[in-house]
Structure 1
Amino acid sequence: MHTAQPDDIDEIARIQVETWRAAYASLLPGDVLAGLDQAEIAEVWQETIKQGTATVHVATEGSWTVGFCAAGPAPDTELADADGKLPEDADAVGMVATLLVEPRWGRRGHGGRLLATAAEGLRAIGKSRGVVWVPENDDVSVAFYERAGWQRDGMVRTLDAGGRPLREIRLTGDLDLRLT
């Protein structure tokens, strides 16, 4: 496990493309998944790693890069309720923007280690609670966060996923994780 460096960018982009194509095939339109451009995604990650407020952590197994997680302070837009009201502890909330483990490396603890490392980093910058948005029908991701002690907080949003609505739910929990 290490903090992402510029030489990790291509592997991060590759993992995002391959994981989305495998894990989200039933959630996103085929043309959206087919249109994922690894070079464009790499540019976004390069910017995030160089100048973003999120820290990107990379999981490895042997010489293989197997997953990554981006986490940082939670933007107000990600914390507000349906009426735009922020929670009282908004300043103490961090956000897991993405956490992906390439499917062929799943079920080996990489996701849990990535989440624990991200939580440790968020605690180091004064955060005590985390949030994450996941597709409502992504049972694997929802169960993963619930095993970590996070719960659905009742917030739902609908995104336009290439002309198909994609409902996401927000989960939240303490950054003192209980991975089981």
Structure 2
Amino acid sequence: MADVGVRPARRADAAAVADIQVRAWRQGYRDLLPAGVLDRVTGAEALAAWRQRWAEAAASPPSPRHRLLVAVAADLVVGFAAHGPAEDADLDPAVTAELVALLVDPLHGRAGHGSRLLAASADLLREDGFATLITWAFEDDEVMRTFLGSAGWAPDGTARTLDMGEPVRQIRLHTDIRGDGT
């Protein structure tokens, strides 16, 4: 595929990012989340809120170490990644970052966009002095776990249960991003 890449998101990308999030969640999480919860977080009201939140993330991130990146193909936003310092109490945010979101539009999947977003995130975070990158994934999300596993990620032994009207377990995955083999 020609004319593809990753770049920092702009405020004007917020609608595309939110639309991708909703489409990806509807497809990818339909068997992982209770239907009512999925309807609430992907409905029209939620979509408007997500558009506002992503516009703020692009225009006014909480710190210079927080970033929103978009994958583009022929000038069309086809995926996004958001990352920043880890917020879990057991981690050092000076050296551990969190991949908060990594989603590719289901209409543009399996074209390398997720891998490009992941690599760009790791490169930027490494430049910012981070050594480790973590993310939370639904325990039953085999697609995400397989994708991240193929890139060297593994569970770190930490799990949490979200109350979504029924318990939904997540596991924390991690990877070393130093790139020097240490």
TM tier, shorter chain? 0.7 to 0.9
Query: Equivalents in 1 of 2:160, 2:39: separation in Å?
Result: 24
In angstroms, what is the RMSD of aligned CA positions?
1.5
Instruction: Please name the residue that 1:141 is paired with.
Output: 144
SS of the equivalent of 2:84 reads: strand
Query: Equivalents in 1 of 2:163, 2:56: separation in Å?
Result: 24
Instruction: Write out the 4+ residue segments of structure 1 that deviate beyond 6 Å after TM superposition.
Output: none
Deviation at residue 51 of structure 1 after TM alignment: 2.8
Residues 1-48 of structure 1: per-residue CA shift (max 9 Å, x gap): 110010000000001111101100011122222222210111121222
Query: Equivalents in 2 of 1:61, 1:16: separation in Å?
Result: 17
Contact 1:13–1:45 (CA under 8 A) maintained in structure 2: yes
Pairing of 1:23-172 with structure 2 (within 5 A): 23-35=28-40, 36=42, 37-49=46-58, 50-53=60-63, 54-77=66-89, 80=90, 86=91, 91-161=94-164, 163-172=165-174
Instruction: Please name the residue that 1:9 is paired with.
Output: 14
Q: Identity over aligned residues, as a percent?
A: 40
TM-score (norm 1): 0.87
TM-score (norm 2): 0.86
SS of the equivalent of 2:52 reads: helix
Deviation at residue 91 of structure 1 after TM alignment: 2.6
Structure 1 residue runs of 5 or longer lacking an equivalent are 81-85
Query: Equivalents in 2 of 1:63, 1:11: separation in Å?
Result: 12
SS of the equivalent of 2:31 reads: coil
Aligned length: 167
Structure 2 residue runs of 5 or longer lacking an equivalent are 1-5
